[in-house]
Homo-oligomer: A and B are copies of this chain.
Amino acid sequence: MALSANLLMPLQKRLGHQFSELSLLKQALTHRSADSQHNERLEYLGDAVLGMVIAEALYQKFPDHAEGDLSRMRSTLVRGKTLAEIGREFDLGSVVRLGPGEMKSGGHRRESILADAVEAIIGAVFLDAGIEAAKKMLLNWYSERLTTISPIALKDAKTRLQEYLQGRQLNLPDYAVTDTRGQAHNQTFTVSCQVQGMASVVAKGTSRRKAEQAAAEMVINALNAEGAKI
């Protein structure tokens, strides 16, 4: 599938950026399965640009919040799920170039292809017109999300892991207390967390809840290290 001007014109309108170098946009929409000139390097760049723009926006919007709150909100705004939503808002699914093997892929693969294309587009805009243009566009894309996000009510690790697994029709994690040490108000709980298809993980905490959250966080880190973007 070639990307014709007929397709790219309305897309640029939706994105809010008119490219000087249209080849950058084409590359951003090219999955590695489709062509050797694919979007992975642009995705790497876009991820960093997005991270900075959102970091600054939250810094300015929440002058009284600690670094931890800002970091959590940033994670929420830049994670794969949010990026895939944005990709759907721009109807990227209809313009992303995929190789024959990927054409039929659905669900999770599809989500991550959309999220990666969104990051690649950000990288492409940055190369095409610089950081200020990329920032202006991103603040537009995120204007509603930045208005509604709040430091409270962010989801904890167990919830995020559960939702991730449910979205992929996998079994829920199996948490089990494997050890308890210490006395009444100074206990250490050891909890194992088993996720379908993964080696089990063990974590400690001063309460069962904390140990479970820590274990879920470890599983999320391991999945993210493999590109899951939870």
Residues in A lying within 8 Å of B, measured CB to CB: 40-41, 43-45, 47-49, 51-52, 54-56, 59, 66-67, 70-71, 74, 126, 131, 190, 199-204, 217-218, 221-222, 224-225
Q: Which of B44, B49, B201 is A202 in contact with, Cβ under 8 Å?
A: B201
Name the B residues within 8 Å of A56 (CB-CB): 45, 48, 126
Inter-chain contact B66/A45, CB cutoff 8 Å: no
Chain B minimum-CB-distance residue to A50: B52
- Give the complex CA separation of A204 and B195 in angstroms: 13
Question: 15 additional contacts, CB 8 Å, given A44-B59, A51-B52?
Answer: A40-B67, A41-B67, A41-B70, A44-B67, A45-B55, A45-B59, A47-B55, A48-B55, A190-B199, A199-B203, A201-B218, A217-B222, A218-B225, A221-B221, A221-B224
Inter-chain contact B55/A40, CB cutoff 8 Å: no
**Chain A binding site: helix, strand, loop or mixed by DSSP?**
helix
- Give the complex CA separation of A51 and B199 in angstroms: 31
- Give the complex CA separation of A56 and B41 in angstroms: 10
Name the B residues within 8 Å of A40 (CB-CB): 66-67
Q: Which of B44, B52, B54, B218 is A221 in contact with, Cβ under 8 Å?
A: B218
Closest CB of chain B to A112's CB: distance in Å?
A: 14
- Give the complex CA separation of A51 and B50 in angstroms: 11
Q: Which of B49, B70, B201 is A52 in contact with, Cβ under 8 Å?
A: B49
Chain B minimum-CB-distance residue to A211: B199
Closest CB of chain B to A217's CB: distance in Å?
A: 6
8 shortest A-B CB distances, which residue pairs? A48-B55, A221-B221, A199-B202, A40-B67, A52-B52, A44-B67, A48-B52, A48-B51
Interface centre among A48, A66, A201 (most CB of B within 10 A): A48
- Give the complex CA separation of A52 and B122 in angstroms: 12
